[in-house]
Amino acid sequence: MLNGAHSGFDAVIGNPPWASFSGRQAVPLEPALDKYWAEEFAVFSGWKTLHSLFVEQFARLASTDGSIGVLLPAPVADLDGYAPVRSFIRAAKYVREPLLYFGEEAFAGVVQPSCALIAVGNPPPSGKPDGAPFILGASGLPTTGPNESDFHRAIQQLNDRGRPPADAFADPGVHTGNCSKKIVLTQAGSVGEFAHVREGRSVFAYRLEAPQKWLHIDYQAADGEYFTIRDLSVYQGFPILLRQTAKRPIAAAHDSPTHFRNSVLACRGISGVSTPLVLAWLNSTAVGAWHMTKVREANQGAFPQVKVRHLRDLPVPDWAVLAESIGGQAPALVRSAGDQDATAIATLDEAVSHALGLSTAQHAAIVSGLAAMLGETSGA
């Protein structure tokens, strides 16, 4: 170990070799070396890798005020097996989040998604829990210009917010199994029981389109066939639906409730909070920016995903503040937002950011930041 409060390098930067000693593509490791590294390195546990050792060594080589920059596989950010690495570096340095995320094709010959871990100076007095996932960024995040610090501060503040009740979101949609073409039809048949069924493409922000498909309710599965259709009351019990294949949460009120496929996620609502306020939260720019900086699946070129576990991790606003701000107007604003009224959408969006504790400058930064991530030229 280096001695002295300021000994060591001002910066240690590198692209270490990626080698895993666990999993299907494990590299052979001699027992003696395994034992030695386990004794010498705090990070050599859980998912044992060579690049994890470099992270710890870089931190050892850096001075107390020094910085490190390491190019790493993206799973370091959130895979449970990398928790020892995250715990070590959080205790040693201040981790700049969100981590820069480069995707799967940033470097020739590299197929695994990559990211950059940048850690500077001393850790904050009250850090995150040991092993807590890093916020993982996305291409298009603001990295230069006056809005950069406001954007990153906003994301950090959202990281410290509370989370929704675990049972607020669910995935009860019709699972077609290996019978998709037999139970989901463009027209109702003349024999059997049929009902409307919604798909993800029916869900838009603040607006739910009428279902275009029919579900064969009483289809009798042959040998080897399987599917899951729940009782209609289950689907009717969810006041809010969300699109699953999307870059960010997209939610609408479940008007004229009926069956829906598993390309649709469901929300039971929040106890004591009106549906319009929950919709404003789920469709907000702040939630969208949070989701796209934290969730790798949000940035996939094909079939970006919103999953129940992602929704359960969304930062929640101060509902009392939100209700005081727009509570009486919320139903009318949501109806106007469903008609794509830009003023209504902006009013709802600003109110949610305020209830999340964001400043006007931070709200402006996440509006421009989310637009950049979505490839838009103006606010989302």
Is the CB of residue 207 less than 8 Å from the CB of residue 334? no
Greater model confidence, 19 or 23: 19
Is the CB of residue 72 less than 8 Å from the CB of residue 106? no
DSSP 3-state helix, strand, coil percentages of the chain (rounded to 5)? 35, 20, 45
pTM: 0.68
Say yes or no to pLDDT of 281 above 70: yes
Q: Cis peptide before 98, with omega less than 30 degrees from 0?
A: yes
As a whole number, the mean pLDDT across the chain is: 88
The model's confidence at residue 126, banded by pLDDT at 50, 70 and 90, is: low
Domains and CATH numbers, the chain: 9-137 (3.40.50.150), 166-373 (3.90.220)
Is the CB of residue 280 less than 8 Å from the CB of residue 305? no
Residue range 300-351, pLDDT digits in tens: 666 788 999 899 999 999 999 999 999 899 999 999 999 999 999 999 999 9
Distance CA 186, CA 195 (A): 11
Distance CA 287, CA 323 (A): 18
The model's confidence at residue 24, banded by pLDDT at 50, 70 and 90, is: low
Residue range 65-97, pLDDT digits in tens: 999 999 999 889 878 889 999 999 999 999 988
Say yes or no to pLDDT of 26 above 50: yes
What is the predicted pLDDT for the residue at 299? 66
Mapping DSSP onto H, E and C, the string for 135-189 reads CECCCCCCCCCCCHHHHHHHHHHHHCCCCCCHHHEECCCEECCCCHHHHEECCCC
Percent of the chain past pLDDT 70, that is, above it, reads: 90
SS3 77: helix
Quickly count: other Cβ atoms within 10 Å of residue 274's Cβ.
Answer: 18
Distance CA 48, CA 117 (A): 18
If you search the block for the tokens 């279902």, which residue do you land on? 211
* Mean pLDDT, rounded, for 146-164: 82
What is the predicted pLDDT for the residue at 238? 97
* Mean pLDDT, rounded, for 288-303: 77
